[in-house]
Amino acid sequence: MPHASDASHASDTSHAFDLLVIGDANPDIVLGPLVAPLAFGQREQLVDTGLLTLGGSAAIMAAGAARLGLKVAFAGRVGDDEAGRFVTAALAARGVDTSAVRVDPALSTPLTVVVTRGDGDRTILTAPGTLAATRADDVPEALLGDSRHVHAASYFLLPRLAEALPALFRTARERGATTSLDTNDDPAGKWDTGGLGAVLAVTDLLLPNAREARALAGLPEDTPLEEAARQLALRGPLVAVKDGADGALVHDGRTAFRTRGIPAEPLDTVGAGDSFDAGFVAGLLAGRSDADALELAAVCGALSTRAYGGTPAQPTRDEADAALLSAPPVPSASTRNDTRTGTGNDTRNGKNV
C-alpha cells in the first residue's frame, strides 16, 4: 500500500479529507454483565450497567480515525427517526463530516442491543433497518476523488453496497486514493468469495480478524494464521489480521510481521477491532511502515476497551503514541512469532470488530 510521508500528511491540501468511510451506522444499546441465562416468560433481569452509544463498524472506525486527528467523512444511510438523528449527531460531535449521510424516508435506522456476560461473551440482537437498502449512489462520487483513503465495513450486511464496491474502489483508486475493507462476519456463514474476489482485486488493505481471515481464505479453523493471511495477500491486498489475546499480524504475501499488542484489562471489547482499523489506516497515511502501523493499530484497539461502548475510550494520537513508548520492547522484524494481548477480536451486530 502506498505511503505518504509524515510531512506530506501534515501539509496535504490536495484533498478535503484524509479518509472517507462508507457503511453502517446505528445506535448500540450495551447492557450487562448478565450473570444468569437470558430469560423469557416476561421476566425482568437487572444488570449493573447500560449505555446508549454510537455503533456500527464503519461509524466506530470513522470516529476512531477522527479521534486520531484525521479529516474524516462518512457516507451511509439512516432512517428519518430519532435513532438516525442520534447517529448523525454522534458522528458530528466526534469531528466526522456527515454531509453525505442519506436519510431514508421509509426505512428505520438499524438498532443493536448487546447483552454482555462477565466472561467477555455477549449476545447481539440487531434490527437491520436501512442496511439492505444502502447502495452505490449513497456515496457521492465527488468524495471518492476528494479523499486520500476510502474504507468500507460490514461487507456481508450491506449486499447492495457490496455489489457496487468493486466499482467504487476502482474509481477511488483511479483518482489517487488507497482503499481498505473490513468485511466483518458473514451472519449467513456462506463467505461468498466469488463476489469478494472482485473487491479484493481493488483493495489495498484487508482488515479481518483471525476467524474471518481463515473463512475468507476458505481454510479450516486450525490453519496457521500466517498461512491464511498469506493466501489472502496473494489475491492483492496487504492483510492485517486481528488475533485477540495473541496480538496481530500483517502479511504482504511474502513476509509476515507479528506484534504482541498492548497488555490490557478490558472493560468492554465492543468496537476494539474498528479502533484497530482506524489506527492502522492512520499509521499508513502518516507514512509509518507496515510494522509500525500494526503497532499503532494494536494500541488503538487495546485502549478503546477502557470504557463501555465502541467510541468513548478511543485514543487520541498523543495517547496512542504515549502508550507505544511505555509498552514493552517490540520484537524485531526478524522475530515473527512473539505475541501479546489486546488488539480486538470480538463479535457484535452479527459481525466481528
147-153 and 178-182: which strand pairing?
A: parallel
Instruction: Please give the share of the chain, as a percent, with pLDDT higher than 90.
Output: 74
Does position 331 have pLDDT exceeding 70, yes or no? Answer: no
Hey, which residues does 76 pair with through a beta bridge? Answer: 101
Q: Summarize pLDDT for 10-47 with one digit per residue, the tens.
A: 446 689 999 999 999 999 999 998 999 889 999 999 99
Least confident of 1-10, 248-257, 277-286: 1-10
- Round to whole Å and give the CA distance between 136 and 145: 15
97, 243, 246, 274: which one is catalytic? 274
Instruction: Please give the share of the chain, as a percent, with pLDDT higher than 70.
Output: 88
Q: Which residue did the predictor score with more confidence, 306 or 285? A: 285
Residue 28 is among the residues annotated as catalytic for this protein: no
Average pLDDT, integer, range 298-302: 94
Reported confidence tier of residue 116, pLDDT bands at 50, 70, 90: confident
Residue holding cell 449467513? Answer: 188
Q: pTM for this one?
A: 0.89
Instruction: State in Å, rounded, how far the first CA of the chain is from the last one.
Output: 22
Does position 137 have pLDDT exceeding 80, yes or no? Answer: yes
Indicate the DSSP class of residue 285.
Answer: H
b (16+ CB within 10 A) / e for 196-215: beebbebbbbbbbbbbbbbb
Q: Summarize pLDDT for 58-101 with one digit per residue, the tens.
A: 999 999 999 999 999 999 999 999 999 999 999 999 999 999 99
Handedness of CA 114, 121, 220, 179 (dihedral sign): positive
Reported confidence tier of residue 333, pLDDT bands at 50, 70, 90: very low
- Round to whole Å and give the CA distance between 225 and 264: 22
Mean of all residue pLDDT scores within the chain: 88
